[in-house]
């Protein structure tokens, strides 16, 4: 079965999705890492992301590998985030990446995290959660993670949010049947418990 966790950057998706996957014994899928790989390689090779996406061999696990190269840290820089957001706005890139993601979650038990898991990648997911938090809280969390300045993160986040929510193809929207969960002011344990309860209810 698939547990879909979607929402904007910094809402706590990765931390929550990893923890829920651990708690349930499911496998975690970081769908954003795939757009980050495409963005990074396109930027490095100065090629259109749509040309890179279909041929890139991405391996997700403890480390993230692109064509065998460990890019775990390289895909997390602000430049890579920007390149990922641009790549993810291209419908040809999305087609190639979504096709791989659908193949990945077709068998087994998954907690898949991203922007379009519940709407596009796995519309039949057994559980759909749309995680949110206030922009300030999201920027604060991300800045702490990166060791960066909150105001700079907030500004960059606003630009990416705008692009992610207004792009023509698969904009960031909650699936109509997703449970909206605002994590502002909640502890990680509280959020995990709420998601785990949703999964328990359908098992
Ligand atoms: O979740 P993240 O910050 O690692 O995602 C990187 C970029 O990819 C971000 O701009 C949103 C985009 N993305 C997407 O469009 N669809 C997904 N399923 C996951 C991420």
Residue 35 Cβ < 6 Å to ligand 1: yes
pLDDT in tens, 166-195: 988 878 899 999 999 999 999 999 999 999
CA angle 123, 129, 133 (to 5 degrees): 135
Q: What is the domain partition of the chain in residue ranges?
A: 1-26+109-203, 31-107
What burial letters (b/e) apply to 32-66, b meaning 16+ CB within 10 Å?
Answer: bbbbbbbbbbbbeeeeebbebbeebebebeeebeb
Q: What integer pLDDT is reported at residue 76 of this predicted model?
A: 92
Q: Which residue has the tokens 């061999």?
A: 57
CA dist., res. 185 & res. 94, Å (int): 33
Question: How would residue 18 be classed by pLDDT, with cut points 50, 70 and 90?
Answer: very high
Q: Is the CB of 32 under 6 A from ligand 1?
A: yes
Global pTM value: 0.92
Q: Ligand 1 pocket check: which of 114, 131, 160, 168 to mutate, most ligand atoms within 8 Å of Cβ? A: 114
| Integer Rg of the chain from CA | 16
pLDDT digits (tens, 9 = 90+) for 50-100: 999 999 999 999 999 999 999 999 999 989 999 999 999 999 999 999 999
Tell me the three-class secondary structure of 134-168, residue by residue: CHHHHHHHHHHHHCCCHHHHHHHHHHHHHHHHHCC
* Residue of the CA atom closest to atom 18 of ligand 1: 114
Give the CATH fold of the 1-26+109-203 domain: Rossmann fold (3.40.50)
For residues 163 and 146, give the distance between their C-alpha atoms in angstroms, rounded to a whole number: 21
């Amino acid at each position: 079965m698939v547990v879909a966790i979607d929402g904007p950057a910094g809402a706590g998706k990765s931390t929550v999705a990893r923890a829920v996957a651990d708690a349930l014994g499911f496998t975690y899928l970081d769908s954003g890492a795939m757009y980050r790989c495409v963005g990074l390689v396109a930027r490095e090779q100065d090629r259109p992301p749509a040309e890179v996406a279909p041929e890139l061999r991405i391996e997700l696990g403890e480390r993230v590998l692109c064509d065998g190269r460990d890019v775990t840290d390289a895909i997390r820089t602000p430049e890579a985030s920007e390149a990922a957001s641009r790549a993810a706005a291209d419908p040809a890139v999305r087609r190639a990446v979504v096709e791989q993601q659908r193949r990945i979650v077709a068998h087994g038990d998954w907690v898949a995290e991203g922007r379009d898991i519940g709407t596009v990648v796995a519309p039949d997911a057994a559980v759909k959660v749309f995680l949110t938090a206030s922009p300030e809280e999201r920027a604060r969390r991300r800045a702490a993670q990166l060791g960066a300045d909150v105001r700079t993160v907030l500004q960059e986040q606003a630009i990416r949010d705008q692009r992610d929510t207004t792009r023509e193809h698969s904009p960031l929207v909650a699936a109509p049947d997703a449970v909206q969960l605002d994590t502002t002011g909640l502890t990680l344990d509280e959020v995990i418990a709420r998601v785990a309860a949703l999964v328990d209810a359908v098992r």
